[in-house]
Amino acid sequence: MKQIQPTLQTTLQTKPIIQAPSWQLGVVSMLSAGMSGSLAEMCTLPIDTLKVRLQIASSKGSSGFVPVLTNLVRKEGLLAFYGGAAAAVQRQLVMASVKFGCYEPVKKQFCCLFNCDSDPARTPKLIKLLSASTTGLVAVLCGQPTDVVKVRMQAQNRSESLRYTSCRSAYSQIYSSEGLRGLWRGTLPSASRNIVVNASEIAMYDIIKTWLIQTKLMDEGSKCFLVSAGLTGIVATAIASPIDVVKTRYMNASIGQYSSMLDCVASLWRENGASVFYRGVLPAGVRLVCWNIVMFMTFEHCKSFAKSTLISSEGDFKFR
């Protein structure tokens, strides 16, 4: 009787596959998200600064794209485009780590809770949206002070006496004059924006990428990441721009300027009607598309590299 020799394929199939514990994958994901978000922020900060200046510009005087850009360059110089850079990086190290890095673990928990399939191709879209909204909300609650400081430092005119001389002085002055409430100023519009943006960014990226791979239009890789991230940026801009304008105005307002977020919305409406809520939409759109491309492409490759470098075949960290 001829003895059947086990083939290489059979041997590979019977070899146990050891995966890293979810907490280790979560740490890798959060570290990758924080670094990727910081890189994306530094690449797009000049566009973001221009967007903030357009959003806070009054309807009286030079509030258009060209006048604001021209005044910014002539009066304040190119360094003005990197106002609040330190706070911007701090913001991403906190917020991106939470909203992007925790998305997959949170999605798996919701899948367990609602008894859904956690496979990306079969996970319900509602679960993806709920997971992205949850991480977006938690990120705001953790990192709102960094966002307040970033916006205020971007908004201050370098050609005049500076409101804050450094990132550290901004935290100190806001706390001294406004207390903890000042550092978490605008949390409601910020949370609203982050929930909407996260749902339209992370969940939409997940949905588009899965659809492109499922329909075999693209294989998983850089090209797929690029297209998914670009389309995600366009969708996020259209949805989140009005909330972003309100958030920026409210966080940058002086004490007593607005009695509430609704008062801020009403004041903006009286200023220039519905169009004011899409002020700065061009730089906001360019920035979000570029930000998403840099963020997601770096994030995907960082995760892949980190998993292969930091986690051994036994599922433990290689370096302890």
For residue range 25-52, what is the model confidence (pLDDT) as tens digits? 778 888 889 999 999 999 999 988 888 8
Q: Take residue 293 and report the two structure tokens written for it.
A: 């491309």
Q: What's the mean pLDDT in 196-223? A: 90
Residue 112, phi then psi, degrees to nearest 5: -65, -40
The mean predicted confidence, pLDDT, of the chain is 82
- Determine the residue type at 100: F
- Determine the residue type at 140: V
* Residue 211, pLDDT score: 93
Residue entry with tokens 């304040």 = 76
User: For residue 22, how many other CB atoms are within 10 A of its CB?
Assistant: 13
- Determine the residue type at 80: A
Residue 77: partners with Cβ closer than 8 Å, 6 or more residues away: 158
pLDDT digits (tens, 9 = 90+) for 150-196: 988 888 877 677 888 889 999 999 999 999 999 998 888 888 878 88
CB contact at 8 A, 76 and 158: yes
- Determine the residue type at 289: V
- Is residue 199 over pLDDT 80? yes
- Is residue 310 over pLDDT 80? no
Distance CA 23, CA 61 (A): 54
- Listed ranges 48-52, 294-298, 300-304; the one with the highest mean pLDDT: 294-298
* Residue 27, pLDDT score: 81
Distance CA 101, CA 202 (A): 11
Q: Take residue 266 and report the two structure tokens written for it.
A: 């009403």
Q: What's the mean pLDDT in 63-91? A: 85
* Residue 21, pLDDT score: 53
More confident residue, 290 or 193: 290
- Quick one: how many helices (H) and strands (E) in the chain? 12, 0
Q: What is the dihedral of CA 290, 295, 298, 301, to 10 degrees?
A: -120
Q: What is the pTM of this model?
A: 0.75
Q: By CB neighbour count within 10 A (0-12 exposed, 13-18 middle, 19+ buried), where does 102 fall?
A: buried
